[in-house]
Structure 1
């Protein structure tokens, strides 16, 4: 296996946006600081959206003014339109993530626009970001299934992808917004991207709503560069510390895959990680517990409860390899 996985920490954004208790700016900055200290190097930190729609994301500019400055850390701001991109461009964000649902049913409920109109907004936002020297990710939401219109065909995703690629984003992401996807769909969507030379990098966003998120992540990690299935030999995977997260506009869209659980799985599978290597799993688990205390909500990940498992930890338990 020569494909590398890049972990994208989305806890400060997707991990918080669906929680009942909004966290203040300083607590969100503290979360980001703790994640950087545990090895996170690409972090979706804020969302430049209307605070009346997503109050958990209020104060994006204030958060970005206080986050640690580190040349090795890239901060992503989620945006939906030109105005959001303009706000991001005035901060220390180095990337924007522009979200476009692939169904009109979801797009109308989420953004009050059709998919075609949203693609026009995405193109304008992309240009603003590029003019500001920022990288651009474009996420195709509900690419695996829509809570309002049901299953989403590969043909439907292909039509939206063809338009989305016109702006030549640095990265295309396929999002399983409501956690209905299975590995077969991961491979099918990756195959779409492999046939489009405009797509330079793939990213996936999985939820574990129906306990398939980790299987999907392994499927993405195993796509391999053969035949161009993984442009640039790197695939990015979103994950949220503690497994927190969800979409406030998608019924029953529960938590993301947990960063520490995913890192444990990829380490065991021998999947090479881009950047500084395997993050501090026990440290991430502690961050998940810390975050749960502040939200008044228990972490959804499992390593936070079970702990890491290595030869050293087994020796500490008095176990042997023959057990």
Structure 2
């Protein structure tokens, strides 16, 4: 294993979308706008800001058009939105999204339970969205859930992950996320899956999306770095959770990832202190302590 780590990584901040979508209490649009603006100022090059899905399924995202209209955009920053179908794509287009995100699963059981169709059928449903994204010159990102394990079928084969990567590649995706939806992956497994995925798609355009349910998020990011992955998703204050994994703490916390990168001498272009402040802001609004260990430690040190 060549342990030469990347010198620079891109952190995709997913807190405003993936982090907040499972919150039961409705969060006002102005709070989401403030969060996105704080993250923009902190230096992120890519922020997953909203989701154009049916409010019937994800009520928290009902204000997405308002959020996209209200944020202060910074030139060069990519604001991404989730688009499950053409209706979602048209809303994303109207909202001025820079990147649209489509999503499949590496687990047949997960695909059937969630969207009542096979993996192959789910990818086929996105063909129209992918073509429209290309026509309108929007970046297209594909996300593969349950790449390391599934709440229904258990283990997931790296070959199946690679097959979904290939299908998303053939749709024209610019970037593909290998996601550990329920946080069960471990570093050795991450090595195997990432190397297998890289046989089907350029390593420079693969990203790691890790949840911290079993406390493996940071270890899995380090394992990905060893393979050469240089794009990671993270959620400010550790926001989020997975409805399919009891006790899930959600996405790996952005502050923890930034602290790791700082320690490794890897450039991110992001101001850790500004992210800690953004994490404190949203956690106070939600009425609970941030999940980020690095963020909470930095806040405690400031108060000392």
Q: Establish whether TM, by shorter chain, passes 0.5.
A: yes
Q: 1:271 to 1:153 in 2, by over 3 A?
A: same
- Cα separation, 1, equivalents of 2:204 and 2:168: 13
Larger Rg: 1
- Cα separation, 2, equivalents of 1:46 and 1:31: 12
- Cα separation, 1, equivalents of 2:5 and 2:224: 13
The corresponding residue for 2:116 is: 112
Residue 155 of structure 2 is aligned to residue 160 of structure 1: no
User: Please, which runs of 5 or more residues in structure 2 have no aligned partner?
Assistant: none
What is the CA distance between 1:123 and its match in structure 2?
2.1
Q: 1:200 to 1:286 in 2, by over 3 A?
A: closer
| Within-5 A mapping of 1:121-140 | 121-140=125-144
The range that moved more, 107-116 or 28-37, is: 107-116
The corresponding residue for 1:227 is: none
- Cα separation, 1, equivalents of 2:205 and 2:274: 29
1:300 aligned residue (271, 274, 291): 291
Residue 1 of structure 2 is aligned to residue 6 of structure 1: no
Q: 1:251 to 1:133 in 2, by over 3 A?
A: farther
Native 8 Å contact 2:85 2:129 kept in 1: yes
Native 8 Å contact 2:104 2:143 kept in 1: yes
Residue 71 of structure 2 is aligned to residue 67 of structure 1: yes
Deviation per CA, 1:2-61, whole angstroms, max 9, x where unpaired? Answer: 623100000100110112222111111111011112222210000111111111111211
| Within-5 A mapping of 1:40-55 | 40-55=44-59
RMSD: 2.1
The corresponding residue for 1:280 is: 271
What is the CA distance between 1:204 and its match in structure 2?
1.0
The corresponding residue for 2:43 is: 39
Native 8 Å contact 2:151 2:182 kept in 1: yes
Deviation per CA, 1:268-292, whole angstroms, max 9, x where unpaired? Answer: 012233xxx2x22222112112111
Deviation per CA, 1:225-259, whole angstroms, max 9, x where unpaired? Answer: xxxxx5xxxx2100011011123455544321111
Deviation per CA, 1:58-96, whole angstroms, max 9, x where unpaired? Answer: 121111111112112110001222322222122121001
Deviation per CA, 1:186-212, whole angstroms, max 9, x where unpaired? Answer: 211221232225776111100110000
**TM-score with structure 1 setting the length:** 0.87
1:87 aligned residue (76, 85, 91): 91
**TM-score with structure 2 setting the length:** 0.92
Q: How many residues matched?
A: 300
| Within-5 A mapping of 1:211-250 | 211-224=215-228, 235-248=230-243
User: Aligned to 1:59, what secondary structure does the other structure show?
Assistant: helix
- Cα separation, 1, equivalents of 2:9 and 2:34: 26
1:290 aligned residue (268, 281, 284): 281
User: Please, which runs of 5 or more residues in structure 1 have no aligned partner?
Assistant: 225-229, 318-323
The corresponding residue for 1:270 is: 265
- Cα separation, 1, equivalents of 2:195 and 2:136: 32
Native 8 Å contact 1:147 1:251 kept in 2: no
Native 8 Å contact 1:179 1:212 kept in 2: yes
The corresponding residue for 2:214 is: 210
Q: 1:128 to 1:253 in 2, by over 3 A?
A: farther
- Cα separation, 1, equivalents of 2:198 and 2:17: 29
Native 8 Å contact 2:148 2:155 kept in 1: yes
What is the CA distance between 1:145 and its match in structure 2?
0.5
Q: 1:285 to 1:26 in 2, by over 3 A?
A: same
- Cα separation, 2, equivalents of 1:57 and 1:219: 33
Native 8 Å contact 2:165 2:201 kept in 1: no
